Amino acid sequence: FTLTVYNNTFVKNYCNIHNARVGETGTRIFKNNLCQDNSGGGDYSDTGGGFGTTANNISEDATSPDASFRNKTVSFVDEDNDDFHLAGNDANARNAGEDLSATFTDDIDGQTRGYRGWDIGADETFTSTMIDAPLTNKMTDGLVGHWTFNGGDMDWSSTTAEVLDRSGNSNNGNVTNFGQEAVTGGISGQALGFDGVDDIISVSSASGLPNTIGSVSFWLYPRSIGVQDESYWAIYNDPIEDVFQLYTS
């Protein structure tokens, strides 16, 4: 026979895993098991001639069959109240397991493992962070215009230059036909919402802006789909020429 013991969590047992062969022969495989807080019998106990094939089995004491995983304390969400999901700040079991996706893919809660690496034990942690701030690794060198729309880069007290240009070229923009009510969240930091009818930002003094060859980078989130010639985002000179248009349909 073949015995496989994968990705289990054992806590507060007299002996968390006891390997005993009683007249049996066969293959034993122990991987990614997590044992903590035994009550006297050891996290791992062997009276059967060895655990066989092992990998990445954690013990809080010195009994793990995998030497580098001994004497490791694992942090749980709420051990006192028997919540043995891994804590988000755990440093010993998270992302420390062997990838066993060829055998199975889900944790005890039915969540898919392996997003950032396999965890040891029955639970796979998933942590996320909400970030609503300007990017710190943005490309800013050589820009002729840089309009972030972030709070600190808008001057609503002005009547002609509400949108500040952070490229250093003073190509500030004038908001026309809308105001602070258009402020909304963007993919990073703040954005402005345009009504798709007559909301524009004009740059009246922009001699440094290219009107032939140049690159434009921006984030756009269309809320509705129109038809050609009626629903588009555009950059143009006044009088209208050298138009760059992005249609949403």
DSSP string, 189-211: SEEE---SSS-EEE-S--TTS-S
**pLDDT class for 10, splitting at 50, 70, 90?**
very high
Task: Examine residue 239 and say whether the peptide bond preceding it is cis (omega within 30 degrees of 0).
Answer: yes
In total, how many domains does the chain have?
Answer: 2
CB 248 within 8 A of CB 226: yes
3-state SS class at 58: strand
**Residue with the larger pLDDT of the pair 216 and 21:** 216
Question: Do residues 139 and 242 share a domain?
Answer: yes
Which of 128, 144, 174 is the last residue before a domain boundary? 128
Whats the size of the chain, residue-wise? 249
107 φψ region: left (φ > 0), alpha (ψ -120 to 50), beta (else) = beta
For residue 44, give its domain range.
1-128
Rounded-to-integer distance, Cα 115 and Cα 135, Å: 24
Which of 128, 150, 171 is the last residue before a domain boundary? 128
3-state SS class at 245: strand
**pLDDT class for 138, splitting at 50, 70, 90?**
low
Rg from Cα positions in the chain: 30
CB 189 within 8 A of CB 132: yes
CB 193 within 8 A of CB 233: no
- pTM: predicted TM-score of the whole model, two decimal places: 0.52
Q: What is the residue type of 197? A: V
Question: Do residues 118 and 142 share a domain?
Answer: no
Residue 152 DSSP symbol: G
Task: Choose among 133, 94, 138, 131: nearest CA to 116.
Answer: 94
**pLDDT class for 134, splitting at 50, 70, 90?**
low
In the chain, % helix, strand, coil (3-state, to 5) comes to 5, 25, 70
**Residue 199: pLDDT over 60:** yes
Calculate what percentage of the chain has a pLDDT beyond 90.
34
Q: What is the mean pLDDT of the chain?
A: 82
Task: Choose among 72, 80, 61: nearest CA to 16.
Answer: 61
Question: Do residues 121 and 163 share a domain?
Answer: no
Question: Do residues 32 and 124 share a domain?
Answer: yes
**Residue with the larger pLDDT of the pair 184 and 108:** 108
Residue 25 DSSP symbol: -
Question: Do residues 162 and 232 share a domain?
Answer: yes
Residue 181 DSSP symbol: G
- For 40-67, what is each residue's pLDDT tens digit? 889 999 887 788 899 999 999 999 999 9
CB 231 within 8 A of CB 247: yes
- For 218-245, what is each residue's pLDDT tens digit? 887 776 665 555 545 666 666 555 556 6
Which of 109, 128, 147 is the last residue before a domain boundary? 128
CB 227 within 8 A of CB 247: no
**Range 77-94 average pLDDT:** 92
**Range 149-155 average pLDDT:** 87
β-strand partners of 2:
27
Question: Do residues 197 and 233 share a domain?
Answer: yes
Question: Do residues 201 and 189 share a domain?
Answer: yes
Rounded-to-integer distance, Cα 92 and Cα 97, Å: 10
Question: Within 13 Å and on the Cβ side, how many CA atoms surround 222?
Answer: 12
